Structure 1
Amino acid sequence: MKKSNLKSIMQGLDELGLSNARGVSWNLTPAELVMEAIKNHEGVLADTGAFMWDTGKFTGRAPKDRFIVKDEITENTVWWGNINQEFDAEKFDKLYDKVVKSLNYKRLYVRDCFAGADPRYRLNVRIIDTQATHNLFCYNMFLKPENDELEDFHPDFRILAVPEFEADPEVDGTRSKNFAIINFKKRIILVGGTGYTGETKKGIFSVLNFLLPEKEKVLAMHCSANIGEKDDAAVFFGLSGTGKTTLSADPNRQLIGDDEHGWTDDGVFNFEGGCYAKVIDLTREKEPEIWDAIKFGAILENTRFFPGTTTVDYENTEVTENTRVSYPLNHISNAVLPSVGGHPKNIFFLTCDAYGVLPPISKLTPGQAMYHFISGYTAKVAGTEAGITEPQSVFSACFGAPFMPLHPTKYAELLGEKMVKHDVNIWLINTGWSGGAYGVGNRIKLKYTRAMITAALDGKLDNVEFETHPVFGLAMPKECPEVPSMILNPKVTWENKDAYDDKANLLAKEFVKNFEKYEENANDEIMAGAPKVVVEQ
């Protein structure tokens, strides 16, 4: 490390009140961090070379313990409620002082990195960790500055991630001992009481989702994206379990990114420098790109070995079903670097409809696109969570409500403007059930879903005949290459047509009820995209 670099980083720590750190390791390489992690007994190496560790008590995000400091910047801009919970500025300052005091006299791992592959909208981020593994995660998930870019690096945002620090809820104003708090005025994120690495990346995602649409008119998106040979980008929105990562991993297209992107006047760009994928039941046959990416430098979270070996048992759910791997984009052979692309020609909303009501593919009008974007529908099936015995509707605005500080209509209107300006096709893809609801019908075959997406991407649905869904008003193609025509209209696949009508009306009611909280801020075009509920006599 050059003396000028060391002086800069130490000045940066002094500004945060961390002048008494016991030792500071700054921007270590993956090999150095793995050695540190092993020395610290944070985890072990798998036979692929990947580093395996446990995140502790928390194996997923804790959305009820995520807060935003309410001040003059956020008071009238953040959409406050159950998702964006307010935190008192004075209490933040006191909690911050306690966190900093706990960090002094400890060994720290510091990383300077970027969020945003487009330099015009890039966020300089400085992350301060007490765990080498967490710092390696940040190396994987954020963009790496070149050495000359580190010479005069000034952070726009700082993250203090301290898993071992637990809050006192009665004194500190948190709900629990763990917390993740964003302070936009001081440009600091505090994460404590949890070792789950996803809190860090989603914290920065939330920051970009607040800053970019408000100031730059850049649409922030919780989506994956890829690009074809003709520079035809495609974007895939979807909640967990809908196939977002799987369907964007196309061997005939290059991957831009698998989770977080921005859409500017020039095209789409990845916020991240890596992927954070689920590995439950992973096989090389199902996910060859992810399988081959799990090598030295990758981090496996909460997995287990086959007894007596260092080979990972991906079916093992002893710790959690949310087992994951993080790895840098260069672990993917067909990744686009730098991870930017042109304007998307096609956007896919992925939903796993366990009611078997929605068509496997349908084309949306701008109004319908904004309506379904704000709704963010999918469904949970029996067995996915304790107490769920029947399919349950899940609505997450913009397909990522926990990370969207602004009102959902802000993002939806930006989406509508961009899809009209750039003549984008928007498709709703049901990766769920056909021929009946869960327990009666069958899951739509992946090969059919892939064929429908490929047909849309290749323009093979541009000139086919469409029919209109009577309840949801969706345009359903009557034919699609390599897909049986009978499955394209969901009602046709049901043996009991009256039962289908009842279920479709039930789901429409759930859509309408969920949307009530957005109506006041939604324009006429958005409201025209709502399904038509049949009123029972």
Structure 2
Amino acid sequence: MGSSLLKTNLTAIDHGGNLQIQLGTAKLVEKVLERNEGILTSTGAVRAETGLYTGRSPEDKFIVKDALTENEIEWGKVNQPFDSEKFAKLYDKVLQYLKQQNEVFVFKGFAGADPSYRLPIQVINELAWHNLFAQQLFIRPTNEELKNHHAEFTVISAPGFKADPSVDGTRSETFIIISFTEKVVLIGGTEYAGEMKKSIFSVMNYLLPKNDVFSMHCSANIGLEGDVALFFGLSGTGKTTLSADPNRKLIGDDEHGWSANGIFNIEGGCYAKCINLSQEKEPQIFEAIRFGAVLENVMIDPDTREADYDDSSLTENTRAAYPLENMSNIAYPSVAGHPNTIIFLTADAFGVLPPISKLTKEQAMYHFLSGYTSKLAGTERGVTSPQATFSTCFGAPFLPLPAQRYAKMLGEKIDEHEVQVFLVNTGWTGGEFGVGKRMKLQFTRAMVQAALNGELNSTETVRDPIFGLYIPVHVPGVPDHVLQPARTWEHKEAYELKALELAKKFKENFAKFQDIAEEIEKAGGPVRTE
């Protein structure tokens, strides 16, 4: 198959007039409606259902193992190997399947807002609404850029093609396979559009570090003085809420690169969770869902065509995809200088981590590698009490290279640019989940504001005796006792037991990094576990 693949994939599926290349938003919306793939909502957004799969299928995701990737990829549960010969055969089958379709939709664009590091991509879709999604999520080329556009990576998505595991080597009928040699992402058997977005993110997490660019799963914004902040955090920690600040411009909400020039957004749009979305709580996102936007699995009133964001009948993972320019308070273009402040967000349901703490470089690397938050009771079947959840580098499912490589780049950037790093706990205080209360949003906002303003850079701190974290003694707008978890618990012994329980979980999780990260743990991890 070789490197000629990219030149031939469009030719291989063309049967005279079936290729719909670079359709505008309005034409794509018309195609979605004409083909009965979705409906128009009261705001002009397109609404589609993703069928059986309403989220990613991590167990069906693979990377082709060949001479290029064999010794580079961190193989395991996240990065599962796939045979190159089986990939070639499956690729041909998918192309033959697409060639039989009356219409196939093609989008050409970019990943990466900094021209020095952007990746020209093309997305080939069986479904019109998937092509509309790609148009909204990736960076759209100007007419001039389109003339000289040569895709270096191609996403091929054919949801209607279902694999035969016994023949094709997949785990199920669904597959998401990346070939770095052939520069192709092959997707089939799932209509969940997020697979396209996250596959390209995985590609960028492989390519950017090779160009000395630190790729990051985070949101970013910029202040009036040009000061840049990054927000890392897993689902439910408040990343979207806290990075959407009326006094700061949004650079991007999910994926960024950090080069010698500064930071840049990898995407051209947002993919926002919209369960319980309201105009009052998140006006920017609410108002961005208009003509051209795509709603996934959101329930719609059949008469008024108004969205019911509180209805989770199909899934809790309802989503909205829209271009960045639909937001009123964005930085354009989506590039900025070097970050002044990094915020790691965690929602600790054990109620023992400080609501804010200053991190040394080693602590930052330790907590970055740990990627801790809590899974709450009731979120999944069988979860009856809070469970510690660790996602390496706050983005484990999308990291093809060894985690230490990303952590090392973080440490180097912190040193080079004297970045202030904070761990912010948006979780529980005064006791664990079910006993204590969720940290007040007004307090969290005040702490984040103080960190971004530089008010905590040289403030007095006390060291947490279990986690070793440096806790500010005072933060404007926050009662002093709230800053130290032990002082918010009714019984100090109960607090200590719970804190040691979590510290032990940190240590157990970090054991997988022992070979290379012993020094990081020694200088950055909990100081007591028993």
Aligned pair partner of 2:128 in 125, 132, 141 = 132
Aligned pair partner of 2:188 in 166, 185, 192 = 192
| 2: CA distance, partners of 1:526 / 1:146 | 47
Task: Provide the identity percentage.
Answer: 54
* 8 Å CA contact retained: 2:420, 2:457: no
**Shift of residue 14, structure 1, vs aligned partner:** 5.5
> 1:144: which partner in 2?
140
SS of the counterpart of 2:176? strand
Residue 456 of structure 2 aligns with an amino acid whose one-letter code is: L
> 2:165: which partner in 1?
169
Q: For residues 387-414 of structure 1, what are the alpha-carbon distances to aligned partners after superposition, in whole Å with 9 as ceiling and x for unaligned?
A: 1110011100000000000111100000
Q: Is the aligned partner of 1:64 residue 2:59? A: yes
Number of aligned residues: 525
Unaligned runs of 5+ in 2: 1-5
| 2: CA distance, partners of 1:21 / 1:401 | 42
**Shift of residue 21, structure 1, vs aligned partner:** 6.0
| 1: CA distance, partners of 2:166 / 2:445 | 52
Q: Is the aligned partner of 1:423 residue 2:418? A: yes
SS of the counterpart of 2:345? strand
Residue 427 of structure 1 aligns with an amino acid whose one-letter code is: F
| 1: CA distance, partners of 2:462 / 2:44 | 52
> 2:267: which partner in 1?
272
> 1:158: which partner in 2?
154
Aligned pair partner of 1:524 in 513, 519, 530 = 519
Q: Provide the TM-score with structure 2 as the length reference.
A: 0.97
> 1:181: which partner in 2?
177
| 2: CA distance, partners of 1:339 / 1:241 | 25
| 2: CA distance, partners of 1:527 / 1:191 | 42
| 2: CA distance, partners of 1:523 / 1:407 | 16
Aligned pair partner of 1:505 in 500, 503, 506 = 500
Q: 1:13 to 1:72 in 2, by over 3 A?
A: closer
Residue 401 of structure 1 aligns with an amino acid whose one-letter code is: A
Residue 161 of structure 2 aligns with an amino acid whose one-letter code is: F
Worse-superposed segment, 484-493 or 298-307: 298-307
Q: Is the aligned partner of 1:488 residue 2:522? A: no
Q: 1:461 to 1:318 in 2, by over 3 A?
A: same
| 2: CA distance, partners of 1:295 / 1:73 | 43
Unaligned runs of 5+ in 1: 1-10
> 1:109: which partner in 2?
105
* 8 Å CA contact retained: 2:273, 2:317: yes
Q: 1:100 to 1:307 in 2, by over 3 A?
A: closer
> 2:296: which partner in 1?
301
* 8 Å CA contact retained: 2:465, 2:528: no
How do 1:194-213 residues align onto structure 2 when only pairs under 5 Å count?
194-213=190-209
Q: For residues 145-181 of structure 1, what are the alpha-carbon distances to aligned partners after superposition, in whole Å with 9 as ceiling and x for unaligned?
A: 1111111221100110011111001111111110100
> 2:3: which partner in 1?
none
Q: 1:14 to 1:274 in 2, by over 3 A?
A: closer
Q: For residues 458-480 of structure 1, what are the alpha-carbon distances to aligned partners after superposition, in whole Å with 9 as ceiling and x for unaligned?
A: 11223421100111100001111
Q: Is the aligned partner of 1:442 residue 2:437? A: yes
Residue 234 of structure 2 aligns with an amino acid whose one-letter code is: L
* 8 Å CA contact retained: 2:269, 2:323: yes
> 1:220: which partner in 2?
215
Aligned pair partner of 1:83 in 71, 78, 85 = 78
Aligned pair partner of 1:314 in 309, 315, 338 = 309
* 8 Å CA contact retained: 2:219, 2:239: yes
* 8 Å CA contact retained: 1:177, 1:193: yes
| 1: CA distance, partners of 2:303 / 2:78 | 44
| 1: CA distance, partners of 2:475 / 2:383 | 35
Provide the alpha-carbon RMSD of the alignment.
1.3
Residue 165 of structure 1 aligns with an amino acid whose one-letter code is: F
| 1: CA distance, partners of 2:138 / 2:421 | 29
Q: Is the aligned partner of 1:244 residue 2:207? A: no
Aligned pair partner of 2:119 in 100, 120, 123 = 123
Worse-superposed segment, 158-167 or 463-472: 463-472
| 2: CA distance, partners of 1:80 / 1:103 | 31
Q: Provide the TM-score with structure 1 as the length reference.
A: 0.96
Aligned pair partner of 2:390 in 390, 395, 398 = 395
